[in-house]
């Protein structure tokens, strides 16, 4: 690489966006020099989120701040804005409002992003795909498909990111090998629906065909699957995963959204019957499973009876990890024009009520690990306490679950250490190696 490029990049929103950013930066074909401020860069790259209105507003604020930082420079860097904001509102609507942006990059042209930026900068045409990791040495996200084949009434994703498109097995496996060659120990498979992988490929392979290639890879200590639609958790799939053993992590992120069939039906969920069935099915095969789910409260028409049903469901199932979101009416979705919209203060109260319940359930579950010895994958040094690091036990997914704070000999980013759990909190653990 004879060229070097000073780059300031920001990736907003989900891990899938993070992967897109890492792929772009690793595929430009030049030596990248990361800088801490837009005014020091040759390229300012902002990958946006627009899944919900607050995310859209954050994206616009981030772009506006970057414009303010660079507008008075004698030589401005190239300002490229990519991702879901562009997918949702399109260049024709955004460009008149933000004319300072030099390049708009839509998700529909992901593969062309490196070439489009290179042309704008007068760089040679990029020749090979790459990946510039931003997560440190312990874990990496591995995106296996784009878009979504479902049509939930509250969701903007199909309109933003398009129909479901599986990446090829060869592409995914090669990328996985490259990540493991960099010393990464945990791969986290992500997509809008991981279980849908392959349904659009020739021969209609299913996820097991891909996992058959990933499980044996050298250096892989943990393989975690995120975003598993309930309908994909078939008895056959669970039996396959049980037989696979290590490096598969028995961590199941199954976003059920609600428990009451009336609400699930209005949501247009592809699994609108009793979600308890699929959770019981998982625990019958994996009694030790760590279950995570996402719940939405305040959906149009959610009554007090529906909410109490949901609260009882959470108390009975006892998820290890739970995300609770207050419904927001998003422009262009069927749910936004449904009757019986719920007042914001009611939504917030319901969310807070469930999170208080979950804090107690989580603390009670984590208490069993006190004085136990667990394998902890070390992610990063603690920003404030020298000698202390953040890491994760097998039942803690990166960036969305609680942490294990760990210290002791051999504790460094990327290390997998055996450690004694000395303290249990509501969501976190404290350990000594």
Encoded tokens for 227: 């975003």
pLDDT of residue 230: 87
Asked if pLDDT for residue 89 goes beyond 70, the answer is yes
Confidence of residue 144 (pLDDT cuts 50, 70, 90): very high
Kindly indicate the confidence band of residue 2, based on its pLDDT and cuts at 50, 70 and 90: low
**Average pLDDT for 74-100:** 95
| Structural domains of the chain in order of their starting residue, each with its CATH number | 4-121 (3.40.50.12160), 139-367 (3.80.30.20), 370-432 (2.40.50.140)
pLDDT over 80 (residue 3): no
Of all residues in the chain, what percent carry a pLDDT higher than 90?
86
Contact 246, 394 (CB under 8 A): no
Q: What is the 3-state secondary structure (H, E, C) of 179-240?
A: HHHCCCCEEEEECCCHHHCCCCCCCCCCHHHHHHHHCCCCCCCEEEECCCCHHHCCHHHHHH
Over 70: is that where the pLDDT of 39 sits?
Answer: yes
Q: 68: helix, coil or strand?
A: helix
Check if the beta carbon of residue 320 is closer than 8 Å to that of residue 402. no
Q: Which contacts (CB < 8 Å, 24+ apart) does range 273-281 have?
A: 275/230, 275/313, 276/313, 276/316, 276/317, 278/230, 278/231, 278/233, 278/254, 279/254, 279/317, 281/233, 281/235, 281/238
Residue 248 reports pLDDT greater than 70: yes
pLDDT tens-digit readout, 315-364: 999 999 999 999 999 999 999 999 999 999 999 999 999 999 999 999 99
CA 208 to CA 125: how far, in whole Å? 36
Q: How confident is the model at residue 128 (pLDDT cuts 50, 70, 90)?
A: confident
Q: How high does pLDDT run on average in the chain? A: 94
Distance of alpha carbon 131 from alpha carbon 21, whole angstroms:
9
CA distance 20 to 32: 16
The pLDDT of residue 303: 97
Does the N-terminal peptide bond of residue 247 adopt cis geometry, omega within 30 degrees of 0? yes
Cα(125)–Cα(143) distance, integer angstroms = 25
Angle at 29 between CA 131 and CA 18, to 5 degrees: 30
pLDDT computed for residue 1 by the predictor: 46
The mean per-residue pLDDT over the stretch 131-137 comes to 91
Q: pTM for the whole thing?
A: 0.93
Q: Using the 8-state DSSP alphabet, how is residue 257 labeled?
A: B
- pLDDT, one tens digit per residue, over 149-189 is 887 888 888 878 888 899 999 999 999 999 999 999 999 99
Mean predicted confidence (pLDDT) in 291-301: 97
Task: Convert the pLDDT of each residue in 231-240 to its tens digit.
Answer: 889 999 999 9
Tokens, residue 402: 């609680």
């Amino acid at each position: 690489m004879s060229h070097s490029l000073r780059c300031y990049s920001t990736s907003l929103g989900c891990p899938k966006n993070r992967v897109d950013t890492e792929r772009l930066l690793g595929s430009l074909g030049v030596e990248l020099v990361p800088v801490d401020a837009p005014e020091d860069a040759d390229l300012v790259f902002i990958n946006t989120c627009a899944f919900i209105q607050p995310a859209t507003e954050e994206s616009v604020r981030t772009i506006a701040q970057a414009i303010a930082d660079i507008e008075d420079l004698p030589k401005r860097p190239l300002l490229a804005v990519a991702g879901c904001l562009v997918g949702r509102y399109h260049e024709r609507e955004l460009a008149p409002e933000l004319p300072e942006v030099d390049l708009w990059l839509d998700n529909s042209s992901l593969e062309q992003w490196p070439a489009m930026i290179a042309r704008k900068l007068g760089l040679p045409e990029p020749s090979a795909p790459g990946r510039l990791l931003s997560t440190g040495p312990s874990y990496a996200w591995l995106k296996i498909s784009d878009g979504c084949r479902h049509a939930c009434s509250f969701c903007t994703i199909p309109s933003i990111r398009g129909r479901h498109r599986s990446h090829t097995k060869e592409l995914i496996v090669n990328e996985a090998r490259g990540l493991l060659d960099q010393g990464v120990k945990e791969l986290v498979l992500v997509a809008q629906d991981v279980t849908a992988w392959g349904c659009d490929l020739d021969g209609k392979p299913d996820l097991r065909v891909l996992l058959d290639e990933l499980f044996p890879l050298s250096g892989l200590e943990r393989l975690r699957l995120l975003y598993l639609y309930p309908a994909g958790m078939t008895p056959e799939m669970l039996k396959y995963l049980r037989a696979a053993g290590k490096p598969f992590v028995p961590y199941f992120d199954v976003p059920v959204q609600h428990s009451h069939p009336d609400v699930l039906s209005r949501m247009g969920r592809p699994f609108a019957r009793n979600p308890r069935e699929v959770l019981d099915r998982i625990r019958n095969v994996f009694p030790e499973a760590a279950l995570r789910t996402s719940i939405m409260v305040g959906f149009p028409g959610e009554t007090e009876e529906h909410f109490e049903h949901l609260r009882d469901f959470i108390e009975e199932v006892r998820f290890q990890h739970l995300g609770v979101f207050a419904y927001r009416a998003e422009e262009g979705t069927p749910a936004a024009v449904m009757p019986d919209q719920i007042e914001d203060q009611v939504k917030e109260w319901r969310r807070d009520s469930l999170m208080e319940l979950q804090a107690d359930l989580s603390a009670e579950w984590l208490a069993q690990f006190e004085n136990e010895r667990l394998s902890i994958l070390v992610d990063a040094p603690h920003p404030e306490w020298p000698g202390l690091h953040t890491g994760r036990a097998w039942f803690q997914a990166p960036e969305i679950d609680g942490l294990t704070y760990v210290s002791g000999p051999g504790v460094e980013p990327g290390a997998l250490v055996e450690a004694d759990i000395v303290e249990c909190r509501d969501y976190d653990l404290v350990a000594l190696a």
